[in-house]
Amino acid sequence: MATLAGDGRAVVHYDQLGCGRSTHLPDAPADFWDVGLFVEELRTVVDALGIADRFHLLGQSWGGMLAPEVVLADPSGVASLTICDSPASMELWLQAANRLRQELPDDVQAALTRHEQAGTTDTPEYAAAMQVFYDRHVCRVVPNPPEVSASFEQIEAEPTVYHTMNGPSEFHVIGSLREWSVVDRLDRIDVPTLVVAGAYDEAQPEVWAPYVERIAGARSHVFPESSHMPHVEEPEAFVDVVGSFLREHDAGAAR
């Protein structure tokens, strides 16, 4: 994402609470981690940086679920919204994930189901089976680039937020986001919006279609060689598509 700075803009990539160099709270109660917390955090960040008057908002995966929530809570200052590889509801996400799971080899499907039913998703066998799905639908650059590996290593080392809100894997969602949906509120968004995804993405077209269908004027782009991380899998094309959209809506935006 930092490559978007190539045309002179500032790119702010912050560590959310519970991640990276931000404060970790492994003992916080489960209900502490909710969408409202992260909406407030983002507004705190842009206020502290002095860019709240005008900024582009881009979210990838969970970030693309959070970004429309930020706009719905308070659209002030948002010059544009870019949603990358993100569902409009977890119901849609799980429907697509289950369909993609059925395309995995039989032994892989069996291992995933066996461990999920037994509650043993922390075993090496489950991790190996999970990786088959990830190599197809999360990041098709194998071995994963260092920044991608580092992200997964961080989740493994300190899984509090991911496990509490999502669950043990991308497709076994049993956390607090299990019932999340923004579908019925999307017609209230009135900022320029771009939706992107990969052709092999776990975020299949039906997962992100409501953004395009319900946000007035929203546009979409699918990267033909990518799965869930086009910014890693097709970085030049990603920067070209997203960068062009940002430049189109730069007028008056902080750079």
- Give yes or no for a contact between 78 and 85, defined as CB atoms under 8 angstroms apart: no
- Is residue 244 helix, strand or coil? helix
**Rounded (5°) CA angle 99-82-67:** 80
Burial degree of 106 (CB within 10 A; 0-12, 13-18, 19+): exposed
CB atoms within 10 A of CB 105: 10
For residues 11 and 230, give the distance between their C-alpha atoms in angstroms, rounded to a whole number. Answer: 18
CA-nearest of 85, 66, 51 to 16 is 66
Helix axes 90-101, 205-214, angle to 10 degrees: 150
Q: If you compute the radius of gyration of the chain from its CA atoms, what whole number of angstroms results?
A: 18
Distance CA 155, CA 172 (A): 15
φ, ψ (nearest 5 deg) of residue 213: -75, -30
Burial of 226 (0-12, 13-18, 19+ CB in 10 A): buried
d(CA 43, CA 50): 11
Which letter does DSSP use for residue 56 in this model? E
Active site residues: 61, 201, 228
